[in-house]
A = this chain, B = another copy of it.
Amino acid sequence: MPPAVSPAPGSPGADGPGPSAAGARARVRVELMREITDAGRAELAEVGPAALSLRAVARRLGMAPSALYRYYASRDHLLTALIVDAYNALAATAAAADATSQDPGRRWMALGRALREWSGGHPHEWALVFGSPVPGFVGSEETTAAATGLHRVPIELLVDAAGAGVLDAPGGLPVPPAVAASVAPMAALAPGLDPAVAAAALAAWAQVLGAISLERFGHFVGAVDDQDAWFDHCLRLAGGLVGLRVGGGAPAVR
């Protein structure tokens, strides 16, 4: 029932790689699993998540459809593997954009722009990650692990900013104790971060991801003309929400 990365009937990689040669067989196995997800990603880019068919992936690989079940227990397991891959790709581009500067404000803008740009280049993968969840896999262990890989990027950004003292104090809104306690699991990833900042950061994060999803899913078609310009502004507002000084060095909110 819980999704497993290698749900093969008998798994040689359950424990250590055995004496010696078992590792060889396991290696070609993970290699083939990667080929399968690659084919799945290619198929995904063409037809989208809803129309992604196991048989089409098998055709692309020249295999029988039933052979795929040696590697993924079901279509949904393959989909979750693709979700994990997409999360990792997203985390990689986010980290790369984040590393282009030292200034927290610039890092925040680069991060947000990179996410939006990636969503434009991989709309179906974005929908797979942030769209309707695959039934039965909501909050599964592997997807949440991959998710934290992405969420870690803005968190570290804020920790750096707070450490450097360039983070404005959170605005006049008092933070009730219940709110501060609610973000405790997140604060575990960011030791020493002000709970008020953590709570606001989550809101800013929801704003950025929400803005991208709403745009990509077509909810802004009649509402916004210049999406590029507005998204930049949205990003600045979100940055200001957490006290980042953003936008050409000008002070954000205050």
Contact = CB atoms under 8 A, between A and B. Distances in A.
Contact of A185 (B135, B178, B222): B222
Interface string A122-149: 0000011011111100110001100110
A218 B138 contact: yes
A26 interface: no
Interface string A223-243: 111110110111011101100
Given A171-B254, A229-B176, A148 B183 contact: no
B183 A230 contact: yes
B207 A206 contact: yes
Interface residues of A, number: 73
A155 to B, nearest CB: 10
A204 B210 CA distance: 10
A253 interface: yes
Contacts of A151: 223
Given A206-B211, A225-B184, A233 B132 contact: no
Lowest 6 CB-CB distances: which A-B pairs, in order? Answer: A210-B210, A131-B132, A207-B207, A182-B226, A139-B221, A138-B218
Given A130-B219, A173-B236, 18 more contacts: A50-B50, A127-B132, A127-B133, A131-B133, A131-B217, A143-B218, A171-B253, A171-B254, A173-B237, A182-B230, A186-B224, A199-B233, A202-B230, A203-B233, A203-B237, A206-B207, A207-B210, A207-B238
Interface of A: 48-51, 127-128, 130-135, 138-139, 143-144, 147-148, 151, 171-176, 178-179, 181-186, 199-200, 202-204, 206-211, 213-214, 217-227, 229-230, 232-234, 236-238, 240-241, 247, 250-254
